[in-house]
Structure formats: C-alpha cells, structure tokens
Amino acid sequence: MTSQPNDLTSLKTVLYDAQSTTDTDSSVYYSLDSSHDLKRPAETSESPPPAKMDTLEKARKEFRITPPDWKNHMGAWAYLQSLAPQHRSMYLEKTQTDQRQRKGYMLGRAASCDIVFDDERISKTHCLIYMEAGSNSVAKGIRIFLKDLSSNGTFVNKKKIDRDQRCLLRSGDIIQLYRSNKLADDDYKHAFYRILFPGAYDVNACTDDYDVKQFLGKGTFASVYSAREIATGKLVAVKIIDKARFARNKRLSKTINDETIVMMAIERHPCAVGINYVYNEERLIYLIMDYVKDGELFNFVVDRKKLTEDETRFIFWQLFKTIQWLHNKQITHRDLKPENILLESKDKLHVKITDFGLAKILAKGERLDSQCGTPNYIAPEILDPLGERSYGLECDMWSLGVMLFICLCGYPPFSESTEGIPMKTQIKQGIYSFASPYWDDISSEGK
C-alpha cells in the first residue's frame, strides 16, 4: 500500500471533501461536535416575531402566484409553485446525466437540502420528492412520489402522509410541511407549494436507453447486469427486479421502494454506489446505478486468504467515514457484509458500499424492531425477542466489526460450524477467539 501515496492521498482528499459537504445533523451514535444537540427544538409560536410579521405582511400583499413557463424549461418534470411569499417556486429538472448530486429533491432545514427553510417547525431533512419513469403496453410516462422523513409530518391536500409509505403525487396537489388547525386553509403562514406537471414529458423504456450486457450477480428478488448507455457509451450497473416475485407481499414491495428512496435521498459520495435513474415498468423495475469494476470485497478476501493490517486499515477508514456520513443523515444500512462492499480499484483499494435494500431513514430518536440482515453479521440486539427488540444506527457498527475480523484473519468470528454452541448464542454472548495460527502475526492493535 505504501507504493501509491499519491492515490491514497487523492482519495482521502475526496473523502474529506464529501464529509465537509454533509449535513450537520447530529447522530445518536456519533458525537462529532460538542455543540450538537439531540434535544427537540424549542417550541415556536404559530406566528413569526412582529418585525418579521410586518415584512411578511408587506410581501404577502405584493405576492403573485407565478405560473410555470414550460417552454423555457423543457427538461423539467415538475414545478413547485409557491403559494406564499416566504417560499420560492422551483422547477424540478434533475436528469440521469447529472452526476453531482442526489437524484431526488430534498426539502428541509439542513444546508445540504435542495430547498432550504429557516423555520424550526420544519425538520432538517423533511421530505423527498423524486421521479420514476415508467411504461406499459399502452403508454410511457412518469410518476412522481413524495416521501415524508420528518418528525412532525408532511401534508398533501391537508392529509398527513404516513411516514412508512410514499405518496404518489398528482398535478395540482397542495404540499405543506406543517399545518395548523388554528389557521384558515389558505393562510399564507402555513401555505407552501402546489406541484404541477407538464402536459407531456418524453420518456423511454429502459431498453431504449441502455444496452444490457453481462450478468454480474443475483439476489433473492433481483439480478444485476452491466449495461451501456446508448447515447453516451457510459458503462453502468442495472439492478433488475421482477415485480411478480413480490406482487403479493407488501413487505417486500416496501423494501424495494425503501431502497429507491434512500438512494434518491443521498448525495454523491466517493464510497457509496449512486443511483442514476429508475424505470418502473409493467413487469420489471430497473435501477440504473454506478458500475464498480473490480467486484466484491468478499471474493477479494477469499482470493487473498486474508488482508494485511495496512490494507485492512485503509479499507475500513473508508467504510467508517462513509457509515459516519450515512448515520449523520439518520440512515442505517442494516446489511453490511463483504458481499455488499465493492472494489472500485483492487490496486488502490478504493471501496464502495452497495445494496441499500434494507436501509432505513430514521426519525430522530426512532428505534427499530424488525429482525433483518445476514445472520453472521447482525448485532446481538437484533436477535432479542420481538417484545424486547430495539435498535438503531449502532447496529451497523457491529457488522463492520465482524467484517474487520474476517479481513484480518480470513474466517468469521461467529459460525454455525462451531461445535456445541449455536451461532445465535455466540453472537449474544460475544463468544469468539483469536485462533492460532491465523492471528499469530496480528498486532495487539489489530486485535
């Protein structure tokens, strides 16, 4: 590893740049800044202070609702039409070729949001609006969804959106980030946006835009292929999901939606696989993602038997930085394992986290109770009985620890092959050993 200082230095610079642009949201696991406050914000009154009120009243009298100008925004797939002077109208027009940022539009107080509000009643990441292209035997078109991520709720046409569901938007829907029963429906103090769609928006089927090539791998409900974008020749990965496999299972259907939501919500990061586009078609869903050329960390470790301490240290420096970045956004991955870590470069040991199928965006203070993940890597608290089970972001740290163990010695700390002790008991009681000769040359720091 010491033979490539320039490569490592440049990657570290990119990683630090990515960290510096993230939200300053505090995490229930990381204490990155002593000024971070996990307390609920102080209650605010329904109305702004008098000086601000005077300014808003004046602006309200002069305010005019601005209609969309579709002719000069041919690429826009929606228009957020401001209904109050304190908010600005905005065209939603991110495309699959924009590699700089998240693919959805995040609304909230955090500086990294696409639309930022200076109001304590609004969560740092309040809601996400994103688009999926679709086609069937009759027509092609788009569908636009809203996902609530807030503590207090998002309202569409005065109805509070269920935080566990995404809302299919229709042209003309009214979106509010908070509402008060004390105010009239049209009161500007809680008026936000009307979303409008263009009369026509041209989309293709996935196979019109991409030439699907080599089979890369298969999971329970999806297969992954390499593909080339026909217009540019760019190599991508395509995750193809067969709708028939989960049509009768709402839980699995929600898992697919959650994966799309998480990937649409996060910005580009050098150590996380990004999403470019979603085609939700009649029989299949296509997720167009970054192509990562050198395969899984699992196969890399198997081929090498084990990694050196320096190699392991550099890989896990990237992983810890990336998980820290996700946790600061209140996102838990929940299925970290060597198979879900891809190598962008074997020579540079540049890795990327993939497969956000079990990932979850948590509300502040939210605890989870579903039992999920890969058995060898799940944290002890996930194995608790349902009535006692409670876990959060910290479950990812246990999984990283198991992976770290494997990279250093080449075998897992917990296994069903251990005689006399069920793997569940091994995990719950922390029963593992530094067996000889596998650990003989590992430093005390590594242990």
Of the candidates 23, 209, 258, 335, the residue annotated as catalytic is: 335
* Residue (of 273, 281, 271) closest to 224 by Cα position: 273
- Kindly provide the b/e burial profile for residues 183-197, where b requires at least 16 CB atoms within 10 angstroms of the residue's own CB: eeeeebbbbbbbbbb
Describe the strand order of the beta sheet including 159-160 as a list of residue ranges.
90-92, 78-82, 193-196, 174-176, 155-156, 159-160
Distance CA 283, CA 247 (A): 10
Beta bridge partners of 279: 133, 286
Please report the beta strands in 197-326, taking only residues with DSSP state E, as ranges in sequence order. Answer: 210-218, 222-229, 235-242, 275-280, 284-290
Distance CA 346, CA 295 (A): 9
Q: What is the DSSP string of 189-219?
A: GG--EEEE--S------HHHHEEEEEEEEE-
Q: How far apart are CA 17 and CA 28, in angstroms?
A: 23
CA dihedral for 285, 115, 396, 226, sign (positive or negative):
positive
Half-sphere exposure of 396 (CA within 13 A, CB side): 28
Distances (CA, A) of 406 to 40, 295, 340, 381, 401: 40, 17, 14, 21, 9
160: annotated binding-site residue?
no
Distance (Å) of CA 200 to CA 70, 74, 75, 141? 10, 10, 11, 8
What type of residue is 111? Answer: A
- The residues, any chain, with a CB within 8 Å of residue 173's CB and separated by 6 or more, are 156, 157, 194, 195
Name the token pair of 307: 């990694």
The answer to whether the beta carbons of residues 323 and 396 sit under 8 Å apart is: yes
User: Strand, helix or coil at 95?
Assistant: coil
Q: Which residue has the tokens 């962008």?
A: 344
DSSP annotation of 296: B
Residues facing residue 108 across a β-bridge: 116
**Which residues, other chains included, contact 56 with Cβ-Cβ below 8 Å and sequence gap of 6+?**
48, 85, 86, 188
In DSSP terms, which residues pair with 116 in a beta bridge? 108
Let me know if 355 is a catalytic residue.
no
- The annotated binding site for ATP is made up of 239
- Write out the catalytic residue numbers: 335
- The annotated binding site is made up of 239
